[in-house]
Amino acid sequence: MLKLMRAPSKYVQGKDALLELYDHVNDLGKSFLFICSKSGFKAAKPKIEKSFDGKDAKIMFEVFGGISSTGEIAKMQKIAKDNHIDVICAIGGGSAIDTAKATAYYEKLPVVIIPTVCATDAPCTGLSVIYHDDGTFSNYIFYPKNPDAVIVDSSIIVNAPVRFLTAGMGDALGTYFEARMCLKTNSPSLENGGITKSAMALCELCYDTLLENGYKAKKAAEQKVLTPAVEAIIEANTYLSGVGADNGGLATSHSVYNGFTALEECEKTMHGELVAFGTLAQLVLENAPMEEVEEVMDFCVSVGLPVTLAEVGVTDKTRVMTAAEKACAPGESIHNMLGDVTPEQLYHAILAADAIGMEYLGK
Ligand SMILES: [Zn+2]
C-alpha cells in the first residue's frame, strides 16, 4: 500500500476572517453560491457582503433544508446551473458542508467551506455523508480531492453554543488513538492510503493540543471571548482532526458512534460526544496503560465530555448489545483493531469503560 497525504488546498483561521473572504477565494471564480444553514446564514451573511462589497463578483445565498439529502443536492445543482455559478460555498455545520461538497463535485466546481460551528471535523475532509430525503442514511461519497479552501471565522465559532465546541473536541479526541491503531495494524486511512509520518505527527499534535488547551478554551468560550486557547482548539477540531482522520484512519471510536445511532435514547447525544465515549471503549479493548486511560478520562471530565453510558443517554444496559452489534457490522472501522473484535468483546469493553467512568465521577 502506497503512503498518501491529502489536505485542503488552503486553510485560513482567525478573528473576523470572513471580512477578508473575497481576498482568499477570488482566484476560484466570479460567481459564488453560498449554501447555508439557517443559523450560519444569519451569522455569516453581513460579513460576506461587506467583504464582496464593490468587487467584481456575484454572490447568492440559499438556505438549505437541513439534511445533506439526495433531493437537496439536486436542488442546489439546479440553482448552480441556472445561475452560472463558478464556486460552491458551504456555510454552517456538517450537513451544509456535505451538501455543498456533493453539489460542487457533481457540478465539477471548486468548493469553499465556511464552518460556523466546530462540532465535527467535516470541513477539511474529502468525503460526505449523504442521506435519503426521509433522513435515513444513504451512502458516503469519497471525493478525489479535499476542499479548495476552508475559511474559519473564529469570532463566529466562539459565539455558537459551547456544546458544539466541546463535541468537536470529542471528535478530535478519537483522531490520535484511531490513527495509532491503523498504523499498528497496517490498515488504510479514510483516503485508502498508507499512513504517513506527517499524518501521525498531526494526530499527535491534535491530542496534545486538546490536553493543553481544552479546559481553558471551554471556559473562555462560555464567556464568548476569543483567547489563544480557543484558537488552538478551533484548529485542533477543524484542521488537525479532519486532516488527521482523513490520512490516519478510524478504528473503534467511530464504530461506537455508528453503533449507538441504533439507539433512539442517544438521539440527542452529539457525534463527538459518542466518539469520546467510544475512545474510552477503544482504550479498554486495546488494554491501554491505566495512566493513558486516566489522562483521557481527566480530559473528558474537565471539558464535559461523557465517560459513562448514562451521560450518552443509555440507562438500560441491556440495550448496549444492539449498539455493539451495529458497531461490528462488516465494513466498520472497528475491524482495523488488532485481532478481530466481536460484538460481545465490544459489549464487555463498553461496560468496563462505563464502570471506570462511574467510579471516576464518584457515582
Ligand atoms: Zn467524526
Distance of CA 168 from the midpoint of ligand 1 (Å): 8
pLDDT for 363 beyond 80 = no
Distance of CA 290 from the midpoint of ligand 1 (Å): 25
Distance of CA 269 from the midpoint of ligand 1 (Å): 13
Mean pLDDT across the stretch 173-187? 98
Q: Which amino acid is at 55?
A: K
Per-residue cell: 294: 486516566
Distance of CA 234 from the midpoint of ligand 1 (Å): 15
Out of 3.40.50.1970, 3.40.190.10, 1.10.3260.10, 3.40.50.2300, the CATH code matching 11-157 is 3.40.50.1970
Distance of CA 333 from the midpoint of ligand 1 (Å): 12
Which residue is listed with cell 458544539? 164
Residue 63 pairs with which residues in a beta bridge? 36
Q: What is the pLDDT of residue 138?
A: 86
**Using alpha carbons only, what angle is made at residue 146 by residues 141 and 148, rounded to the nearest 5 degrees?**
125
Calpha distance 45→219 (Å, rounded): 28
Per-residue cell: 326: 451495529
Calpha distance 302→316 (Å, rounded): 26
Q: Give φ, ψ of 182 to 5 degrees.
A: -60, -40
Distance of CA 241 from the midpoint of ligand 1 (Å): 8
Distance of CA 44 from the midpoint of ligand 1 (Å): 24
Distance of CA 159 from the midpoint of ligand 1 (Å): 22
Under 8 Å CB-to-CB from 206, ≥6 apart: which residues?
172, 175, 176, 236, 240, 241, 244
What's the pTM?
0.96
Tens of pLDDT, residues 188-215: 999 999 999 999 999 999 999 999 999 9
Under 8 Å CB-to-CB from 243, ≥6 apart: which residues?
6, 7, 8, 124, 125, 146, 199, 202
pLDDT for 20 beyond 80 = yes
Which range is least confidently modeled, 59-73, 123-137, 292-306?
123-137
Distance of CA 114 from the midpoint of ligand 1 (Å): 18
pLDDT band at 266 (very low <50, low <70, confident <90, very high): very high
Mean pLDDT across the stretch 274-279? 98
**Nearest CA-CA partner of 239 in 212, 209, 279:** 209
Residues 90, 97: contact at Cβ < 8 Å?
yes
Which residue is listed with cell 469520546? 276
Distance of CA 50 from the midpoint of ligand 1 (Å): 33
Distance of CA 337 from the midpoint of ligand 1 (Å): 17
Distance of CA 217 from the midpoint of ligand 1 (Å): 20
Q: Which amino acid is at 41?
A: F
Q: What is the pLDDT of residue 281?
A: 98
Distance of CA 273 from the midpoint of ligand 1 (Å): 10
Alpha carbons within 13 angstroms on the beta-carbon side of residue 345 total 16
pLDDT for 220 beyond 90 = yes
Every domain of the chain and the residues it spans:
11-157, 162-361
Out of 3.40.190.10, 1.10.3720.10, 1.20.1090.10, 3.40.640.10, the CATH code matching 162-361 is 1.20.1090.10
Residue 12 pairs with which residues in a beta bridge? 151
CA 168 to chain centre: 6
Provide the phi-psi class of 4: left if phi over 0, else alpha when psi is between -120 and 50, else beta.
beta
Distance of CA 274 from the midpoint of ligand 1 (Å): 9
Tens of pLDDT, residues 315-328: 999 999 999 999 99
Are β-strands 31-36 and 111-115 bridged in parallel, bridged antiparallel, or unpaired?
A: unpaired
Residues 334, 252: contact at Cβ < 8 Å?
yes
**Dihedral angle computed from the Cα positions of residues 230, 234, 236 and 239, in that order, rounded to the nearest 10 degrees:** -160
Residues 69, 141: contact at Cβ < 8 Å?
no
Q: What is the pLDDT of residue 340?
A: 86
Calpha distance 325→36 (Å, rounded): 36
Helix (H, G, I), strand (E, B) or coil at 235: helix
Tens of pLDDT, residues 60-81: 999 999 899 999 999 999 999 9
Distance of CA 124 from the midpoint of ligand 1 (Å): 12
Distance of CA 26 from the midpoint of ligand 1 (Å): 31
Distance of CA 78 from the midpoint of ligand 1 (Å): 30
Neighbours of ion ligand 1 (CB under 5 A): 171
pLDDT for 348 beyond 90 = yes
- The DSSP-derived string for 54-87 is TSS-EEEEEE--SS-BHHHHHHHHHHHHHTT-SE
Average pLDDT of the chain is: 96
Distance of CA 312 from the midpoint of ligand 1 (Å): 16
**Nearest CA-CA partner of 8 in 91, 113, 78:** 113
State the DSSP code for 172: H
Please report which helix (H) or strand (E) contains residue 89, including its range.
Answer: strand 87-92
